[in-house]
Amino acid sequence: MLFRQLEYFVAVAQERHFARAAEKCYVSQPALSASIAKLERELNVTLINRGHSFEGLTPEGERLVVWAKRILAEHDAFKAEVDAVRSGITGTLRLGTVPTASTTASLVLSAFCSAHPLAKVQIHSRLAATELYRRLREFELDAAIVHAAHGDAHDVDLVPLYAEHYVLLSSADMLPSGVSTLSWRDAAQLPLALLTADMHDRQIINETFAGHGLTVGPQVETDSVASLLAQVASGNWACIVPHTWLWTSPLGGEIRAVEMVDPVVTAEIALATNATGPGSPVARALVAAAHQLSLKEFFDTQLPGVTRRR
């Protein structure tokens, strides 16, 4: 059995199409098909249901694809380990973040990139937490900045980073003068633009409103915090976002921010890595850098007096 055979098999499982898998692997389709057929003969099992085209994996194929991804990930990690011994941390760190933590990535990466100038980074910031955890477990990401209290947070190691607090942003004329906090009940009376219902922060927001017997129906929903801020800038809507966005979004005189209270709601954010095996050198280096950070203190300084930020 060759690593190349496993790569071809995983590509077909992911693309669910032989021609696309061959293109992804930079080989001809006949060469890819022949390699997978050889793998099946070596294992004495049928891995793929074939008709005129790909028709899904067999039960044996479903089991093998899990092992194949792990074998390939550990093979890549071993090669990277050898390179790291020879010339330092190199290669590409594949980092995912939930959208509300996308601005946090720059703080987490700053120390990592300074310590390892030969490493490169790819950031994936438009994925839901469930998808981030899946990609971690299937070795498609090296690390992810995610909500720690999530139903999919298993088979991963977590490094706590900070806790999100929620703030409401709106045009100045939507809020009473001089207030620095706002209750969730009062926020429900405002025209709101919110994150989409599949996002974990929105689910926390919905649960908090529900705790007051309230259901909100925002006119605008988006999976982008930057888009929410643009809706607020138009003057037509208010939005609720984590306070961690305030450091990258200086507020103008027409936009105000107030902390949400009654209750104060927090959500723990952590750096997650796959708990299986030794992990890649770039992932371990990022974890080491994250342990040196004090993001909680940094972000909490954004909360006092947020209504006066100009």
Residues making up the chain, counted from first to last? 310
Q: Using omega within 30 degrees of 0 as the cis cutoff, is the peptide bond preceding 263 cis? A: yes
CATH topology of domain 85-161+268-303: D-Maltodextrin-Binding Protein; domain 2 (3.40.190)
Q: Given this model, what pLDDT does residue 307 score? A: 43
Class of residue 223 by CB neighbours under 10 A (exposed 0-12, middle 13-18, buried 19+): middle
Domain locations in the chain? 3-75, 85-161+268-303, 163-266
Q: Which residues, in sequence order, are CB contacts of 82 under 8 Å at separation 6+?
A: none
Q: Answer whether 85-161+268-303 and 163-266 agree in fold.
A: yes
* CATH code of the region 3-75: 1.10.10.10
Distance CA 270, CA 163 (A): 9
CATH pick for 163-266 out of 3.30.470.20, 3.40.190.290, 1.10.260.40, 3.90.550.10: 3.40.190.290
- The one-digit pLDDT tens for each residue of the chain (310 residues) are 578 888 888 899 888 888 898 999 989 988 888 998 988 888 888 998 887 778 888 998 888 888 888 887 777 767 666 665 555 677 889 999 998 888 888 998 998 998 888 889 999 988 888 899 999 988 899 999 999 988 887 889 999 999 999 999 999 889 888 888 999 999 999 999 999 998 889 999 999 999 999 999 899 999 888 899 899 988 899 999 999 988 887 666 688 899 999 999 999 999 999 988 767 888 989 999 999 888 888 888 776 454 434 3
